[in-house]
Structure 1
């Protein structure tokens, strides 16, 4: 059975870690622990391991990588029943891996993490793709690429469908082969985890849950300290929470790093307004 001594990383060490050393499942569970302080990482690691163990003999007997992957998808999406949460796409639980593993419901990126973890434990080099819109996964097969949609049962996507999916995000232009290949570059773990956190920030900011919104972008900054958008978003969340010193620090730094940003003028006005509020408070 799986290793029951899974070690969650420490938020303070992630920025210094090499991209290749940043563990995907443990860091995803670390994100979930913010919201679920009592979660048992070993239990979720063992659950992922049990999916892989169930498939091990079947997958080993299959020759082609594409057919190995088809067996993994059939087990995860048909037998175990993982599925995209089409009814409540914006439920934050779709982003927390403990909830995804328990409820078998998720969004594209969390389902991709489950799919990647199981495949990799079976020696299949499945990678995530930060595709515009929906997160996807990719697998090198016979000199080509198999691209799949974890939100829709791991369905393989043809090149034409990928072009059409990318088109709205590229000013209405369908990407040529070169651009499409660039878009399909494997996403490093750091980028995957930051995207999970940005999704959470967006949901919480939309709902006016500013403490959770601030926490989500603070965690992005633990992964990528130089991420200017996260600095701005944390500052704006602090402003909503009345944490004026923190807001001023973050937003001033944001303006230093991005003086030409399209929202720089708006941010300056908000800082001046906050300084006025501070004067009234004292």
Structure 2
């Protein structure tokens, strides 16, 4: 299982298939699970989506087809009742329960769209993610957590303001690279584990992040923090050293260097 995690850290960004990668990450917590059933379900969704919308050319029509199949026929929806349930960020559980977080549902929507050759990306918002469907020089934004509802300018501004406070510009919305999406998925799990007092579980998740996405400095910082909390000083030094190798931000480098000097002094 960990071979797949190591492979994710080595392959090129555009080689990552989000549904396959998310299932591989989930399998780490479900040892012995046969993924064939889950791939069969994904194939069935793809087949149905192709039947309903394979010939559609416009972004709006494709978004409607995704909503009709994923939310309408297969019943995938946002879990607003038990939002913080860790199962919502685990694609195996999401496929079983047909419920999930914005990021896990966005992975499903984008993966299904890409299987048909459609242009689709996960969009990063503070505390939320959306999906961008593009075609023929037009695009639409939808919210998989809300059954694929279209997100216009006003709704987008409201979502950003609710998460980050007033005054934030909607022009900061950006498509997320594949690894960043997967890091976001694991980050949700790690945050909930730490909130529940399970630091060891959170640390394991940060180890997965740094293995899968070694160029993301935040995960190394959080990993070092939890290693220090676990009195694993040598491991924390190693994580901070790795962080120092990848970041070029002067302020961040000073912060890491200061921490390394303090650990060396100790």
TM-score (norm 1): 0.81
The answer as to 2:143 corresponding to 1:154 is no
Q: Which runs of 5+ in 2 are unaligned?
A: none
Q: Distance in 2 between matches of 1:18 and 1:127?
A: 17
Q: Distance in 2 between matches of 1:19 and 1:236?
A: 27
Q: Distance in 2 between matches of 1:154 and 1:160?
A: 16
Could you say if the C-alpha distance between residues 75 and 214 of structure 1 is closer, same or farther in structure 2, counting changes exceeding 3 Å? same
Between Structure 1 and Structure 2, how many residues are aligned? Answer: 263
Residue range with higher mean Cα deviation, 186-195 or 251-260: 251-260
2:189 aligned partner: 200
2:176 aligned partner: 187
Contact 1:238–1:247 (Cα < 8 Å) also in 2: yes
1:38 aligned partner: 32
SS at match of 1:15: helix
The answer as to 2:226 corresponding to 1:232 is no
Q: Distance in 1 between matches of 2:238 and 2:55?
A: 58
1:154-208 Cα shifts (integer Å, max 9, x gaps): 1001112212323466663252xxx62x51x322211111111111111112112
Question: Aligned-pair distance for 1:102?
Answer: 0.5
The answer as to 2:57 corresponding to 1:68 is no
Aligned match for 1:116, one of 110, 117, 133: 110
2:80 aligned partner: 86
TM-score (norm 2): 0.85
SS at match of 1:138: strand
1:121-140 map, 5 Å: 121-140=115-134
Root-mean-square deviation over aligned CA pairs: 3.1
Q: Distance in 2 between matches of 1:24 and 1:199?
A: 16
1:44-66 Cα shifts (integer Å, max 9, x gaps): 11111101212322223545442
Q: Distance in 2 between matches of 1:227 and 1:55?
A: 34
Higher relative contact order (CA 8 A, sep 6+): 2
Q: Distance in 1 between matches of 2:195 and 2:152?
A: 34
Residue range with higher mean Cα deviation, 118-127 or 42-51: 118-127
SS at match of 2:125: coil
Contact 1:25–1:117 (Cα < 8 Å) also in 2: yes
Q: Which runs of 5+ in 1 are unaligned?
A: 1-6, 276-282
Q: Distance in 1 between matches of 2:27 and 2:51?
A: 33
Q: Distance in 1 between matches of 2:2 and 2:221?
A: 28
1:100-126 Cα shifts (integer Å, max 9, x gaps): 001001000101111122222233222
SS at match of 1:90: coil
Which is greater in Rg? 1
Q: Distance in 2 between matches of 1:68 and 1:41?
A: 28
Could you say if the C-alpha distance between residues 254 and 137 of structure 1 is closer, same or farther in structure 2, counting changes exceeding 3 Å? same
1:57 aligned partner: 51
Could you say if the C-alpha distance between residues 122 and 9 of structure 1 is closer, same or farther in structure 2, counting changes exceeding 3 Å? farther
Question: Aligned-pair distance for 1:39?
Answer: 2.2
Contact 1:108–1:134 (Cα < 8 Å) also in 2: yes
